[in-house]
Chain A
């Protein structure tokens, strides 16, 4: 569970987030990612099982306020659903793979 670093190349890190991305985990995630010395981070979201408003807010904050470049990839269906609900796909700006039949707004 949580953030797992899967690859480090200099200042470019790749990590995978597993499990919950919600009010219960955001505080820990904030401090964890803040402690990383990397400038380029890619976070794989394919194993995120649960996300809520707090989690989405975390994604926004990480993208917006952090001094480094953070990209999210392989959004899990739960994450995609929430991003679509909040209409934030373009705001987050990460490439996302939409699934067939997932195109309804909410």
Chain B
């Protein structure tokens, strides 16, 4: 119940709504029919919520936007590209205002935008007036205060629950409040013992305005909460509703006063109170009779003074209660969504994953001991345990998986803005946004991807003239594509632009001394040169790219995630950059191999098959059913003394589109491996991506298969002559 928490919710909500506005506006720029209602709703909700928090700047500006949107959805003004552009700017300004109002930066002056909006409405800006605060319409009930029962003298009666009489102003629905959601929220403060929905105010069909609220509620609530807490439930509608709250064991007179005060017939309310157990029938009858007797005396024609007392003290009490804010005003829609999802701080998830990691190691140790003990029952129990641990591991890792679409969502805007800046016409096509990826990876991949997309737009896609001259469509396309492939997630950024010119790259690399003049490089290797630090083939340096910082940063951040970066390009047709990432960072299914006395672990997902190494061969190649693969002698690569006279095996691994055979001494089978990062001293060693602790307590190194494959491919594809 504090303002900060509610404000954070407001920020979250506004961000969502602003994103929604953005995507709708972007869609219209691509020729889709705008969902003007959704657009209006988003602006309206932002305005309403901002009003609740007294963020006047946001309310004032959003009001102008809302007016235009209202006219738009009613078809009074036509929607065109210019207006979409203006609305986009307005959206940005609202975002800036929200950020500024909540202490994150400063917003610029919105008056120019306001003037342009006013021009759309065909009126000078001054003519647009602004209704104040949260009570937007229908102010007939704003002077009604929150009345709370007070304790004066009199007979104590009633039951041990609160009695609430709720009459909502006609405008509450239109102001985005939902009376029934307040009642539902009440349940968080106690138990609703009895509830009657009053339909007395329902009009005839002819007078029925569906957006007016006609309902009233009488609620009996059993609750330990304080009066202030119960009142705070209705903070948002206080000005727009007539709320009376009587505490448990109120005096009978107070109930009677309530009965008189309510617009419905006395007998009706009396029955409700009796039905809810608030009053006994006897109490009601005697009290009503007594009251009538008082009223009938000519000296006291105005009615019982008890009611007045109630009002006086009630008002005082209500004024004391600060506008403590709660989030119950969330719309039903949001509520339903929240019921399906739980927000968990990622720190807690990380703790869980850490513990699961420890559990995996402990489980492996247990199983090892059980195997050695030779007791069948213990072995069976350990096997069971291990299976459960595996399930827990899988499920907890899945908790961290989020769709890569979270990152992709920002690109429509990036592409639009960059295309405008470059003066090119570029469409973005997104595929596989639902592909799931570890959350930490999703966060880390965002920046490299942005850079690659900008690069593709700046360097890849040609200018409109050049495209037309080459017989291509004027509009260029940048594609984002994500999919799963053999235990990895692949994200592709491709364009249908000019492609990479290998001649020019090579020439430039020679100029810079990255390659010696007599070095012979494969096509693949030449393309990889653009990943080198300080390399740029752009003839011109723009403010987007061309300074040669970037692709090397992209490459190193991808490698930091144990991923790899591939480039495919065809001159004149386009370029595809392919990032291949492991599914998760924390725990893997490993395949153990032995080299000499040491045990190494390969990620099981990358292992394709194991074959016997034909004795006597001594080449760097392997003929796998007609397919030629590079053969890596791991013992040599890792400088391990091989065991003499063992029958060696070859493990065939694949990563992305590459395959290689790894020559090892022995195969030890599957295991679960919790990846521990190498210390600073060792992190630069190529071919090793981490270590793990085996069940026996020994340390085993985890091999960096992508790096080894890369190394093998380079060594075999293009022997370096010097």
Name A's B-contacting residues (CB within 8 A): 20, 22-24, 26-27, 29-30, 34, 49-54, 56-58, 60-61, 64-67, 78, 82, 85-88, 91, 105-106
Give chain A residues whose Cβ lies under 8 Å from the Cβ of B537. Answer: none
Q: Chain B residues with Cβ under 8 A from A86's Cβ?
A: 180, 183, 195, 197, 215, 217
- CB pair A58–B199 under 8 Å, yes or no, is no
For the complex of A and B, the 4 pairs showing the least CB-CB separation, nearest first, are A65-B205, A26-B210, A106-B187, A86-B197
B401 on the A face (CB < 8 A): no
Query: Using Cβ atoms and an 8 Å threshold, which residues of chain B touch A56?
Result: 180, 215
Tell me which residues across on chain A come within 8 A of B213, comparing CB atoms.
53-54, 57
Min Cβ gap B339→A in Å is 10
Q: How far is the CB of A102 from chain B (nearest CB, A)?
A: 14
B179 CB within 8 Å of chain A: yes
With the chains together, A51 CA to B184 CA distance in Å?
A: 13
Please state if A22 and B180 are interface contacts (CB–CB under 8 Å).
Answer: no
- Counted as pairs of residues, one from A and one from B, with CB atoms less than 8 Å apart, the total is 91
Tell me whether A60 and B205 are in contact (CB under 8 A).
no
Given A24-B41, A87-B196, A106-B192, A82 contacting B180 (CB threshold 8 A) = yes
Greatest chain B CB density within 10 A among A20, A56, A58 is at: A56
Binds A, one of B58-66, B328-336, B377-385: B328-336
Assembly CA distance A18 to B416 (angstroms)? 35
Which chain B positions have C-beta within 8 A of A29? 210
- Most chain A beta-carbon neighbours within 10 Å: one of B176, B199, B213: B199
Q: Are A54 and B173 in contact (CB under 8 A)?
A: yes
Does A57 lie within 8 Å of B332, measured CB to CB? Answer: no
Closest A residue to B196 by beta carbon equals A87
Q: Return chain A residues, CB-CB under 8 Å to B179.
A: 53
Q: Indicate if B178 sits at the interface (CB-CB under 8 A).
A: yes
On whether the beta carbons of B215 and A57 are closer than 8 Å, the reply is yes
Residues of B contacting A: mostly: mixed
Q: Does B394 contact A (CB under 8 A)?
A: no
Tell me if B211 is interfacial: C-beta within 8 Å of chain A: yes
> Can you name the residue of chain A whose Cβ is closest to the Cβ of B41?
A24
User: What residues of A have a CB within 8 angstroms of the CB of B204 in the complex?
Assistant: 65
The answer to whether A91 touches B199, judged by C-beta atoms less than 8 angstroms apart, is yes
Alpha-carbon distance between A61 and B183 when the two chains are bound, in angstroms: 21
Q: Tell me whether A52 and B332 are in contact in the complex, defined as CB-CB below 8 angstroms, given that A65-B208, A91-B197 are known contacts.
A: yes
Which single member of A23, A65, A85 contacts B174 (CB below 8 Å)?
A23
- Say yes or no: B210 contacts A51, CB within 8 Å: no
- Residues from chain B with a CB closer than 8 A to the CB of A30 are 208, 210
Residues of B within 8 A of A105 (CB): 187, 191-192
**Chain A to chain B contacts (Cβ below 8 Å), 11 pairs:** A24-B37, A50-B336, A53-B179, A54-B173, A57-B214, A82-B180, A85-B180, A87-B197, A105-B192, A106-B187, A106-B192
Q: In the complex, A54→B210 CA distance in Å?
A: 7
Besides A23-B173, A86-B195, 5 more A-B contacts (Cβ < 8 Å) are A23-B178, A50-B336, A52-B181, A61-B210, A66-B205
B211/A54 in contact, CB under 8 A: yes
Please tell me if the beta carbons of B197 and A61 are within 8 angstroms of each other in the complex.
no
> In the bound complex, what is the Cα–Cα distance between A91 and B336 (angstroms)?
25
Of B331, B332, B333, chain A has the most CB atoms within 10 Å of the CB of: B332
B225 CB-CB contact with A under 8 Å: no
Q: Is the pair B199, A64 in contact by a Cβ cutoff of 8 Å?
A: yes
Query: Contacts A57-B213, A87-B195, A91-B197; is A52 near B331 (CB within 8 Å)?
Result: yes
Which of chain B's residues have a CB closer than 8 A to the CB of A34? 205
B176: nearest residue on chain A (CB-CB)? A23
Instruction: Indicate the member of A22, A24, A54 with the most B CB atoms within 10 Å.
Output: A54
> Chain A residues with Cβ under 8 A from B41's Cβ?
24
Closest chain A CB from B471 CB (angstroms): 44
Q: Does B699 contact A (CB under 8 A)?
A: no
State in angstroms the CA–CA spacing of A58 and B204 once bound together.
Answer: 12
* A54 CB to nearest B CB, Å: 5
Contact A27–B211 (Cβ < 8 Å): yes
> Complex Cα distance A82/B178, Å?
11
Q: How near does chain A come to B167, taking the closest CB pair, in angstroms?
A: 13
CB proximity of A11 to chain B, nearest CB, Å = 18
Q: In the assembled complex, how far is the CB of residue B435 from the closest CB belonging to chain A, in whole angstroms?
A: 27
Measured between beta carbons, the chain A residues less than 8 angstroms from B608 are none
Q: Identify the closest chain B residue to A77 (Cβ).
A: B336
